[in-house]
Structure 1
Amino acid sequence: MNWSGLMERRVLGVPILYVVGALAVILAVVAWRMKPATGVQLADEPAAEDEPAAGDPAGGVPLPYVSGGSVSQAPLPDPNDGPSADDNDKWLRRSAEWLAGQGHATMDAALIALQKYLAGEQLSMEQGRLRDLATDHFGYPPDLPQSGGTGNGDAPDDPDVPTPPVPPTPPVVVPAEPKKYIAPAFHTVSGPSDDSYTDMALLFYGESGVQYGVDLIQSYNVKHGHQGPFPPGTRFWIPKYAPPRYVIATASMRTASQIISKNPPLNSVAMLQELNDGMTFPVKVGQKVRVA
Structure 2
Amino acid sequence: MKAAVITSFNHPPQYADIAEPVPKHIQEMQVDVLAAGLHHLTRGRASGAHYSSDAVLPFVPGVDGVGRGADGTLRYFVQAPGQPGSMAEKTVIMPEYSLRLPEVCDPIRVAAAMNPAMASWLALRCRTGFLPGQKVLILGATGSSGQMAVQVALYQGAAGIIAAGRNQQKLAALADLGATDTVTLTDPKLGQLASEVDVVLDFIWGENTGKLMMSLLKYRKDRTQQLTWIHVGSMAGEEAPIPGALLRSADVQIIGSGLGAVDAQEILTELPLLVSEIVSGRLFIDVNVVPLSEVSCVWNMVNSSERIVLTP
TM norm. shorter chain > 0.5: no
**Which entry has the higher C-alpha Rg, 1 or 2?**
1
Larger relative strand fraction: 2
Q: When the two structures are superposed, what TM-score results if normalisation uses the length of structure 2?
A: 0.22
Larger relative helix fraction: 1
